[in-house]
Chains A and B, each alone.
Chain A
Amino acid sequence: MSTQFVQAAWGGILFGSVYGLMALGLTLVWGAVRLLNLAHGALFVVGSYVAYWAVSRLNLPILVALPIGVLGAAAFAYLMHLIFIRPVIGKPGFDNSTLIATVGISIAVSAAAILIFNPEYKVIPPVISGNFTVSNVQITKQGLLVIGASLALFGAVYLFLTYTRHGMAIRAVSQQQEAASLMSIPVVRTYGLVIAISGGLAGLAGVLLSPFFFLNPNSGFNPMIQALIVTIFGGLGSVRGALVAGFVLGIFESFVEVYYGVAWAQPGVFLLIILMLILRPNGLFGIGEVRRL
Chain B
Amino acid sequence: MLEVKGLVAGYGGGEVLHGIDLAVHEGECVVVLGPNGHGKTTLLRAITGLLTPRAGQVLLEGRDITRWRADSIAAAGLVHIPQGDLLFPEMTVTENLLLGAYNRATWSDRNARLARVYELFPWLKERGGQLARTLSGGERRMLALGRGLMSKAKLLLIDEPSLGLAPLITQQIYASIHKVKDSGMSLLIADENANQVAGLADRVYLLETGSLVRQGPAAELLRDKALLESYLG
Contact = CB atoms under 8 A, between A and B. Distances in A.
Interface of A: 165, 168-169, 171-172, 175-176, 178-187, 290-293
B135 to A, nearest CB: 14
5 contacts: A175-B91, A182-B86, A183-B74, A184-B72, A184-B75
Which of A168, A179, A181, A184: most chain B CB closer than 10 A? A184
A169 B104 CA distance: 12
Nearest to B88: A175
Contacts of B49: 181
A181 B89 contact: no
B185 interface: no
Given A169-B102, A171-B91, A181 B86 contact: no
B3 interface: no
Interface of B: 48-50, 69-72, 74-75, 79-80, 82, 86-91, 95, 98-100, 102-103, 107, 133, 147, 151
Contacts of B88: 171-172, 175-176, 179-180
Nearest to B85: A179
Contact of A176 (B48, B50, B87, B102): B87
Given A165-B102, A168-B98, A169-B99, A182 B50 contact: yes
B170 to A, nearest CB: 22
Contacts of A291: 90
B48 A182 contact: yes
Contacts of B102: 165, 168-169, 172, 183-185
B89 A175 contact: yes
A178 B71 contact: no
A187 B50 CA distance: 12
Which of B88, B89, B98, B151: most chain A CB closer than 10 A? B88
Given A172-B91, A179-B87, A184 B50 contact: no
Nearest 5 pairs of A and B residues by beta carbon: A179-B86, A184-B74, A181-B70, A184-B75, A175-B88
A191 B135 CA distance: 29
Contacts of A185: 71, 99, 102
Contacts of B70: 178, 181-182
Given A183-B71, A183-B99, 9 more contacts: A168-B102, A172-B88, A172-B102, A175-B90, A178-B50, A179-B82, A181-B74, A182-B86, A184-B151
A183 B102 CA distance: 6
A36 to B, nearest CB: 21
Contacts of A169: 99, 102
A187 B71 CA distance: 8
Contacts of B72: 184
A270 B44 CA distance: 51
Nearest to A173: B88
Contact of B89 (A176, A183, A186): A176
Nearest to A189: B71
Contacts of B71: 180-187
Given A181-B70, A181-B71, A171 B82 contact: no
Nearest to B98: A168
A293 B95 CA distance: 13
